[in-house]
Amino acid sequence: MTKTKFTVIGAGHGGKAMAAHLGLLGFSTRLYNRSMEHIAAIKELGGIDLAGLNGERREFGRLELVTDNMEQALDGSDMIMVVVPSSAHAELARHMAPHLKDGQVIVLHPGRTCGAIEVAKVLRDNHCTADVTVSEAETFIYASRSDGPAQARIFRMKEAVPLAALPATRNRLVLDCIHEAYPQFIDGGNVLQTGLNNMGSIFHPALTLLNAGWIETTHGDYQFYIDGVSPSVARVLEVLDRERVTVGSALGLRTRNAMEWLKLAYDTSGADLYEAIHNQEGYYGIKAPPTLNHRYIFEDVPCSLVPIASLGDRFGVSVRAMDAVVTLANIVHRTDYWRRGRTVDKLGFSTLSVSELTAYVNEGIREE
């Protein structure tokens, strides 16, 4: 049986870790980055030195191709693993559109909220006629960092990561294709389910903005989840979380609340969210972002909070707390994340009913 051929898009810490690991596992792996300068050392070496899988011992993940040429990167690949900030998904899809071929599978790592829906629409709008499957992971499988220009380190891998395809009838196809390399991926239902279970939408933007003074004064020199989550801040997070779960309910979905997620992910519980967060030992020692110009705002607001709030507005759910956080982000960053973000209008389903949207994500049925 021929092994799956992978292309990893993006050479940040996550992309480097994934490409190196796939190379180590013996898969034909290509690495694409839009800037050759960023990957020149990897190209010269022919791969990436990886640490962490076997203690401190470094191992070499050989790569078949390291390139800034999208056509070369995608040619002959079975699985296209997209490991770039979700705010770059749309632009990346525009670059991929002319080069995609029938049968290829795109996996967004992760999709945040409505990532697969956005990418599929951009491909259609850019006249991509290839029969490709767009899918998304609920979260990134690795905890990793970059150790140098051609070095990466994996701290740990998650044991179970939900994944969904668009439409959900192709979930099994994607899981079968990826299973040889990543048995950790499990059926995530559909892409609305994976997107609405995006806990970063709740924890990241509000916690950063409500600690803006502390971040700017200390440059992030405090414990983000411990010192930054006071009882009042936790109450805001609880309201945001209730809004997210209610949006899911309006779409006929049962989504995990933050307390359930903490129990599932970390076996942590408490009388309320404040106590549960403070009972999570893994949060101790994690520093805050050093600046407000951070992905917790510029990625998680337009690609996580905006689409959830927009879905709430479309289907009659009050999302006043989410609206307030987006407004604060607009003021702090002097921008308009409603205009830049993934709204139902931009995603192309502002006129769909719940049943029509469900038919689209589950079966691919869509009235144009």
Lookup: tokens for 241: 């979380």
Give the pLDDT of residue 1: 55
d(CA 197, CA 202): 10
- Residue in 13, 95, 204, 241 annotated catalytic: 204
CATH assignment of 199-363, among 2.60.120.650, 1.20.840.10, 3.40.50.880, 1.10.1040.10: 1.10.1040.10
Quick one: which H or E segment has residue 163? strand 161-166
Find, among 191, 188, 196, 230, the residue nearest to 213 by Cα.
230
Give the pLDDT of residue 53: 79
Lookup: tokens for 143: 């905890």
Residue 368: how many CB atoms within 10 A of its CB? 4
Q: Are 150 and 41 in contact (CB under 8 A)?
A: yes
Give the pLDDT of residue 290: 97
What is the CATH topology of the domain spanning 6-195? Rossmann fold (3.40.50)
Sign, Cα dihedral of 264, 268, 271, 276: negative
Query: Where does CATH 3.40.50.720 sit in the chain?
Result: 6-195
Residue 238 makes CB contacts below 8 A (sequence gap 6+) with 258, 272, 273
Q: SS in 3 state form for 39-93?
A: HHHHHHHCEEEEEECCEEEEEEEECCEEECCHHHHHCCCCEEEECCCHHHHHHHH
Q: In what order do the strands lie in the sheet with 65-67?
A: 65-67, 29-32, 6-9, 79-82, 105-108, 133-137, 161-166, 185-187
Give the pLDDT of residue 233: 98
Give the pLDDT of residue 274: 97
Q: pTM for this structure?
A: 0.94
Active site residue 99: no
Active site residue 179: no
How does strand 55-62 pair with strand 47-52? antiparallel
Query: Where does CATH 1.10.1040.10 sit in the chain?
Result: 199-363
Digits of tens for pLDDT over the chain (368 positions)?
578 999 999 999 999 999 999 999 999 999 999 999 999 999 999 999 999 877 778 899 999 999 999 999 999 999 999 999 999 999 999 999 999 999 999 999 999 999 999 999 999 999 999 999 999 999 999 989 888 999 999 988 888 899 999 999 999 999 999 999 999 999 999 999 999 999 999 999 999 999 999 999 999 999 999 999 999 999 999 999 999 999 999 999 999 999 998 988 888 899 999 999 999 988 999 899 999 999 999 999 999 999 999 999 999 999 999 999 999 999 999 999 999 999 999 999 999 999 999 999 999 987 65
Q: Radius of gyration over alpha carbons of the chain, in Å?
A: 20
